[in-house]
Chains A and B, each alone.
Chain A
Amino acid sequence: DAGITQSPRHKVTETGTPVTLRCHQTENHRYMYWYRQDPGHGLRLIHYSYGVKDTDKGEVSDGYSVSRSKTEDFLLTLESATSSQTSVYFCAIREDGTGETGELFFGEGSRLTVL
């Protein structure tokens, strides 16, 4: 158990509203990631973090921002949600000490619906 908690698990919101998803880990691993899962696309990387205040963009970062002010929390924000951001969002961590290409462990996912 990698100790990853995502909140909220389900959210329905309206176009144009801001949304923040939270990922919390209990073991203070350095690397954290946000992916989105859509049919036919598998999982695609949105943003990742390699330490407190150290973040960078992934493949599909447009419309998203992230913050990491504490090791244990990685926040994903949709400043103005659009229907194309309806998706399931997964947070992941890479356990320290597993090498630069160690496997990722995923949270349970957050299902976001933008009406």
Chain B
Amino acid sequence: AQKVTQAQTEISVVEKEDVTLDCVYETRDTTYYLFWYKQPPSGELVFLIRRNSFDEQNEISGRYSWNFQKSTSSFNFTITASQVVDSAVYFCALSEALNNNAGNMLTFGGGTRLMVKP
């Protein structure tokens, strides 16, 4: 069975600090997909990134970067120069391929609450 662990339940940083959110996953599949979602205080879930298991290249999008390491089953998320608007709960999720009827059954980690103080 697949499992996602986000060991950090809460992180507090001061604005402009860099912060890394950890995500460790378990799966028996060789083909799988990893996701990150952001949930700001307003409550909606915002998709950030999807990564497949065959692509270990790190990805950067502005102040956000993701480090995928199959050797350690980790898909960590770093925010550089954090801002108050980054304050949110961040979820890591995993999807195994393929359940033909289910489309994409995401398994979520418990989430990490990030608080960025001015």
Contact = CB atoms under 8 A, between A and B. Distances in A.
A2 to B, nearest CB: 10
B47 A56 contact: no
B105 A30 contact: no
B64 interface: no
A31 interface: yes
Contacts of B45: 43, 90, 106
Interface in A73-115: 88, 90, 94, 100-106, 108-109
A30 B103 contact: yes
A43 B111 CA distance: 9
B24 to A, nearest CB: 14
B101 A45 contact: no
B54 to A, nearest CB: 12
B111 A42 contact: yes
B43 A104 contact: no
Interface in B26-67: 33, 35, 37, 43-45, 47, 50, 52
B108 A48 contact: no
Secondary structure type dominating chain A contacts: strand
Given A90-B45, A105-B47, A45 B110 contact: no
B97 interface: yes
A50 B50 contact: no
A56 B93 CA distance: 20
Contact of B102 (A41, A44, A50): A50
A104 B102 contact: no
Given A40-B9, A42-B91, A43-B108, A108 B103 contact: no
B19 to A, nearest CB: 19
Contacts of A45: 105-107
Contacts of B103: 30-31, 48, 50, 94, 100
Interface of A: 30-31, 33, 40-45, 48, 50, 54, 56, 58-59, 88, 90, 94, 100-106, 108-109
The 6 A-B residue pairs whose C-beta atoms are closest, nearest first, are A42-B108, A31-B103, A106-B45, A43-B108, A101-B33, A103-B47
